[in-house]
Chain A
Amino acid sequence: MKNNTQQEKDHPSKKIMPETTLKEIKELNTTIKTTSEQIITQTISHLKKINPNRPQEMEYFDELANMFGKRTQELEQYKAEGKKIVGYNCIFAPLELIIAAGAVPVRINSGWYDTSKLGDRVVPVEVCSIIRSTIGAKMIELSPFLELSDVLITVLTCDGMTKLSEILGGYKKVWHLSNPRIKDSDQALKFWNEEIKQIKNNLEKLTGNKITTKTLKPAILKTQKATKAFRRLQNIRKDNAVISGQDALLVTQTFMWDDIERWTEKTNILCDELDRRIQAKEWICPPDTPRVMVTGTPMFWPDNWKLPSLIEEGTPKGILVADELCSSERLLYDPVGIDEWTMTDMLNAIGERYLMACTCPCFTSKDGNEDRINWLLTKIKDHKIQGVIYYVTRGCMLYAMEYTTVKRALDKINIPVYYLDTDYTREDTGQLKTRVEAFLEMLNTQIDL
């Protein structure tokens, strides 16, 4: 644990958080870490209990789910070997460049409820839980990923992320990555490509490794393979109920901190097992189970994880077959599309993949955020979705405000959508359960008719 005076020396004027004594940091860190590890263990054993015939290959992801475990040790090892760890707060961070520079990318968004309460010491409770939780995690140095990061790429997508980067900037080196709010203008793409180039230069300076065609090509190939593995899992879920939505979400979630190559390999092995289950017709639920999709605010392991179990374990039960979350499917769907393996082409392709393909509600155009609406409609059709739960954590303005547009679009195709608002609390699951069950009852009645 790095002590406060050292931090003070690094960034003397930018320290925004209230004074916390080393003793308090240590005590809170221990308590919250213990609770968190208990919750992780409980959730995993619960997943095993509710589905005795759970895919065996989930074991790898179960182990990875403990963020304080092996992966943290691996990152410590990398660091000891002189490798740089690059933390990022948003899916706009160009992973290929980080990898090409010989650094290790890891996402630092926090899913801890207990640290979101600590965040209240710094910002008002109206601020979204993700931001408050990340602030709290920094306050007590809880997140191994955030702590191990040599630098943070903070993407300025929403107001929360923008101001969060200022707060984190008092404690860590921060590189801002500013995304334009419109995609379809020349100046936007030009600006964005310049931002990407800046990140490339920064990475080269940090690691001392020049990013060349020789290093960038394999990095792109690596993420392309990950995307392919993810799409394979997606396609399996389209037509075959062989894996629960909760398990699938765990797989995509762990991508954010795992070694990409190994994650790809393990996901493919899982898909092999799922293929065998399709052959053996080992379905996890009856064919008339309502097919649900979740969209909205990202969900982060381990506390911000209530909704999937409510959908799949209530009475009646639904099955979560797809999502449109930047903590899951949006993370991985789109590959970097390369025409020619030249530096300019590769950089442009990276810029395009991160900007144009993203359906974040931070974007708008003359027709609103039409990319997201179109993508939702496509997913609903492809995955035969019967109902959508629109999930928003309080304070998440962009998703909250875009609900009306999404609802209007889904009303047109007669797909029921329910707005579920919550935050990181564990105490409101009873109320949420009532709502989710009512929604599933409604879907069941409509399916029966």
Chain B
Amino acid sequence: MTATVGFDIGTQNTKIILLNNNNNNDDDDNDNVDNYGKVLAHAQIFSGFDPAQALKDAVAQALKTANLSQTDITSFTATGSTLETYPYPVTNVSIMSAITKAGTHWFPNAKTIIEVGAEEARAVKCDERGVMIDFVVNERCAAGAGAFIEAMARALEIKIQDMGPLALTAERASSINAACVIFGESDVVSLIHKQEPKSEIARAVYDAMADRISAMVHRIGVNPQIVIVGGVAKDVGFLTSLKRKLGVDVLTPEFPEYAGALGAALIGLSKNKTKERPKI
């Protein structure tokens, strides 16, 4: 069996996806054409100071899960941050193309794909063929991204995973400014001093972020279906605020944090079709 690898080097985590690259009926294994393009393994590792090493570790981990060896890999496609040198021969694709591919793979009718990662947020507009026709990236500050939630959870002295459920219990929201992570944090501190309930402050954090993201999406147009991917898509507090701000439903895939990696792998798969496509 052979596999195509896609990986996404994020500012916090490196994500990897292994896709079945077999499209040949004559394979020795019991593998058949139906499994072509199926996910064989996925892994996620902290990027840290040595992203190349993190990448190697992630590949090793995924290969182990899939019970494959490195020689079974036919291609590597990278997205996310670009490294000076890679431990493998890679083809680069931009994160915008990758999330477009993954978003429309999961939801074929998607017209808008939003990605909120640790330090960047972006949104892509695509046409009915799944071709990207416009995109927008948040301004350099991380106030519209995951790092903001992390900093705010720290200020509130709660665990980041508890913040979403806590925000949902709030009856109203306080107000904070999300122009900047650091100033946002001092806003939160003054709310704490005013003894506002933690739940309301938590909701204010999500509302402020959702404000920023929704303003960004408006620049390319709010076109349903809207799909959200990236690590922050798993945060129920943020999702609730975002849906409220946009006024439309927002779809979330099962593994939103793997959108970049999956998109890269899918692009790799379609580019490396050396054999005939399976007859369906």
Binding site for B on A (CB under 8 A): 315, 416, 418-419, 421, 428, 430-431, 433-435, 437-439, 441-442, 445-446, 449
Q: With A430-B82, A449-B129 in contact, is A441–B97 under 8 Å at CB?
A: yes
Complexed CA–CA distance, A59 and B275 (Å): 50
Quote the shortest CB–CB distance from A146 to chain B (angstroms).
Answer: 30
B94 in contact with A441 (CB, 8 Å): yes
A437 contacts across to B, CB distance below 8 A? 92, 94
* CB neighbours of B136 from chain A (8 A): 419
Name the residue of chain B whose CB is nearest to the CB of A439.
Answer: B135
- Partner pick for B140 among A315, A431, A439, CB 8 A cutoff: A431
Report 19 cross-chain contacts, Cβ distance below 8 Å, ordered by A residue. Answer: A315-B92, A416-B134, A418-B135, A419-B136, A428-B140, A430-B82, A431-B120, A434-B82, A434-B95, A438-B95, A438-B135, A441-B94, A441-B96, A441-B132, A442-B97, A442-B132, A446-B133, A449-B129, A449-B131
- The residue among A419, A433, A435, A446 with the most chain B CB atoms within 10 A of its own CB is A435
- In the A-B complex, the 6 residue pairs with the closest CB atoms: A438-B94, A438-B96, A442-B132, A437-B94, A441-B97, A441-B94
Q: Is the CB of B132 within 8 A of A445?
A: yes
Task: Establish whether residues B93 and A441, one from each chain, have CB atoms under 8 Å apart when the complex forms.
Answer: yes
The answer to whether B137 has its CB under 8 Å from any CB of chain A is yes
Q: A438 CA to B134 CA in the complex, in Å?
A: 10
- A448 CA / B94 CA spacing, docked (Å): 17
A residues in contact with B129, CB < 8 Å:
449
A421 to B81, CA, bound (A): 19
A317 CB, min distance to chain B CBs, angstroms: 13
Most central of A418, A430, A441, A449 by chain B CB within 10 Å: A441
Are A442 and B92 within 8 A (Cβ)? no
- Which residues of A sit under 8 angstroms from B135, Cβ to Cβ? 418, 438-439, 442
Say yes or no for B139: interface residue by CB 8 A criterion: yes
Contact A421 B139 (CB under 8 A): yes
Summarize A's interface: helix, strand, loop or mixed.
Answer: helix
Query: From residue 66 to 89 of chain B, which have CB atoms closer than 8 A to chain A?
Result: 81-82
CB distance from B10 to the nearest CB of A (A): 12
List, in ascending order, chain B residues with CB within 8 A of A449's CB: 129, 131
Contact between A435 and B82, CB atoms less than 8 A apart: no
Q: Which residues of B contact A433 (CB under 8 A)?
A: 82
Q: Which of B105-147 contact A (CB under 8 A)?
A: 120, 129, 131-137, 139-140
Known: A442-B97, A445-B131, A449-B131; 19 extra A-B contacts, CB below 8 A, are: A315-B92, A416-B134, A418-B135, A419-B136, A431-B120, A431-B137, A433-B82, A434-B95, A437-B92, A438-B95, A438-B132, A439-B135, A441-B93, A442-B96, A442-B132, A442-B133, A445-B97, A445-B132, A449-B129
Q: Which residues of B contact A (CB under 8 A)?
A: 81-82, 92-97, 120, 129, 131-137, 139-140
Chain B proximity of A355: nearest CB distance (Å): 33
Contacting residues, chain B, for A441 (C-beta < 8 A): 93-94, 96-97, 132
Whole-angstrom CA separation of A315 from B82 in the bound complex: 11
Q: Closest CB of chain B to A206's CB: distance in Å?
A: 44
Question: Residues of B contacting A418 with CB < 8 Å?
Answer: 135
Task: Identify which of B96, B97, B120, B133 contacts A416 (C-beta below 8 A).
Answer: B133
**Closest B residue by C-beta to A435:** B137
B111 nearest CB across to chain A (Å):
15
In the docked arrangement, what's the CA distance between A431 and B121, Å? 12
A318 to chain B minimum Cβ distance, whole angstroms, is 13
Cα A435 to Cα B94 in complex, Å, equals: 8
Which residues of A lie under 8 Å from residue B81 when comparing CB positions? Answer: 430, 434
What residues on B are CB-neighbors of A438 within 8 Å? Answer: 94-97, 132, 135
Instruction: Give the CA-CA distance A446 to B136 in the complex, in Å.
Output: 18
Note all chain A residues with C-beta closer than 8 A to B97.
438, 441-442, 445
Closest residue of chain A to B91, judged by CB?
Answer: A315
Residues of B within 8 A of A446 (CB): 131, 133
Q: In angstroms, how far is the closest chain A Cβ from the Cβ of B181?
A: 16
Distance A441 CA – B137 CA, assembled complex (angstroms): 16
Bound together, the chains give a CA A433 to CA B83 distance in angstroms of: 12
Q: How far is the CB of A337 from chain B (nearest CB, A)?
A: 40
Which A residues touch B120, using CB under 8 A? 431
Closest chain B residue, CB of each to CB of A417: B134
- Shortest distance in angstroms between A217's beta carbon and chain B's nearest beta carbon? 51
| Residue from B96, B129, B136, B139 whose CB has the most chain A CB atoms within 10 Å | B96
| Cα A224 to Cα B242 with chains together (Å) | 57
With A and B bound together, what is the CA distance between A435 and B120 in angstroms? 12
Min CB gap A449→B, angstroms: 7
User: Nearest Cβ in chain B — how far from A392, in angstroms?
Assistant: 11
Q: Which residue of chain B is the closest to A419 with respect to CB atoms?
A: B136
Residue numbers in B under 8 Å from A430 (CB-CB) = 81-82
Closest approach, in angstroms, between the C-beta of B201 and any C-beta of chain A? 28
**A432, chain B: closest CB distance, angstroms:** 10
Output the least CB separation between B278 and chain A (Å). 23
Once the chains are docked, how many angstroms separate the CA of A449 from the CA of B133? 12
Q: Is the CB of B132 within 8 A of A434?
A: no
By a CB distance below 8 angstroms, the chain B residues around A315 are: 92
How many Å from the CB of B213 to the closest CB on chain A? 17
- Whole-angstrom distance between the Cβ of A42 and the nearest chain B Cβ: 17
Residues of B within 8 A of A419 (CB): 136
> Which of A435, A438, A442 has the most C-beta atoms of chain B within 10 angstroms of its own C-beta?
A438
- Measured CA separation A418–B219 after assembly (Å): 11
When distances are taken between beta carbons in the complex, the residues of chain A under 8 Å from B93 are 441
Set of chain B residues within 8 Å of A431, measured between Cβ atoms: 120, 137, 140
**From residue A363, how far is it (CB to closest CB) to chain B in Å?**
25
Cα distance A183–B95 in the bound complex, in angstroms: 44
Taking the nearest CB of chain A, how far is it from the CB of B89, in angstroms?
Answer: 14
Chain A residues near B139: list those with CB within 8 A: 421
Complex Cα distance, B93 from A315, in Å, reads 8
